[in-house]
Amino acid sequence: PGRCRCCCGEAAAGGERGAAWGLYLRIDRQRLQCLNERREGSGALVFRAWEERGDRAQFVESDDDEELLFNIPFTGNVKLKGVIVMGEDDGTHPAEMRLFKNIPHMSFDDAAREPDQTFSLNRDPTGELEYPTKIARFSNVYHLSIHFPKNFGAETTKIFYIGLKGEWTEGHRHEVTICNYEASANPADHKLEQITPQTHFIS
C-alpha cells in the first residue's frame, strides 16, 4: 500500500513534484563551483530537496557585483527538463539566467559566449515558477553552467534555491567497456577484429 500512486491527494502530488526535482542528488558536490560567492561553499547549499526550498538560512549571495556563475558537474548524463530559481521579492533576485552545457570550469570570460538557452526571470520568492528547457538541446548533459548576469537593481544577487528537473543516466559506460577489454586483450581477439566490422555493416 505504501507504493500506491493512484491516490490523488495533495500530499501525493507534492511528493511526486518533489521527486521530479531530484537532480540535486546527482551533482558531483566535490567539484561544484560557484564563482563570485561571498561565503565560500554557500553556492552548493542552494541545490537541495524541493521540499526544503523554503529554508531561508541557506542561500548564496554574490560578492563583488551582481553576477553569479555556477559550474555543476553531474555524476552521469542528465536530460535537463526544467529549472526553478528562488530568491527574495526585491532587487537582489536574479533577472536573467543563461545556461551552458558541457563546458567544465567556465569563467566569467567564457560566459561572454552564446549560451545554449537564456531566460528572463520573474521574481519568485516561493520557488514555484518553472522554466522549461529546450530538451533536445539539453538531452546529454554531464556538466551544466548557470550564469546570472544581472538582477532587479540591487548591488548583489541573492539565491535561496535552484531546482533542476530531469532524468539521470549513468555515464561513462563506454569507457568501462574499453578498460575491461584492454585489460583482457589477447592476440587471438585481434585477428577476429578485422572480420567483425564487415559483419556489422551487413546487419
CATH number at residue 47: 2.60.120.470
Three-state DSSP string of the chain? CCCCCCCCCHHHHHHHHHHHCHHHHHECCCCCEEECECCCCHHHHHCCCHHHCCCCCCCEEECCCCCEEEEEEEEEEEEEEEEEEECCCCCCCECEEEEEECCCCCCCCHHHCCCCEEEECCCCCCCCCCEECCCCCCCCEEEEEEEECCECCCCCCEECEEEEEEEEEECCHHHHHHHHHHHCCCHHHHHHHCCHHHHHHHC
Does residue 178 lie in a domain region? no
User: What is the reported pLDDT for 20?
Assistant: 86
User: What is the reported pLDDT for 195?
Assistant: 45
User: What is the reported pLDDT for 133?
Assistant: 98
User: What is the reported pLDDT for 184?
Assistant: 53
User: What is the reported pLDDT for 49?
Assistant: 96
Residue pLDDT, tens place only, 107-159: 999 999 999 999 999 999 999 999 999 999 999 999 999 999 999 999 999 99
User: What is the reported pLDDT for 19?
Assistant: 80
Q: In total, how many domains does the chain have? A: 1
Does residue 7 lie in a domain region? no
Does residue 179 lie in a domain region? no
pLDDT more than 90, % of the chain: 74
Does residue 46 lie in a domain region? yes
- Domain of 136 in residue numbering reads as 15-169
pTM: 0.78
User: What is the reported pLDDT for 17?
Assistant: 75
User: What is the reported pLDDT for 185?
Assistant: 55
Does residue 6 lie in a domain region? no
Does residue 137 lie in a domain region? yes
Average pLDDT per block of 10 residues along the chain, 203 residues long: 41 65 95 98 97 96 97 97 98 98 97 98 97 97 98 98 96 50 52 46 44
User: What is the reported pLDDT for 8?
Assistant: 38
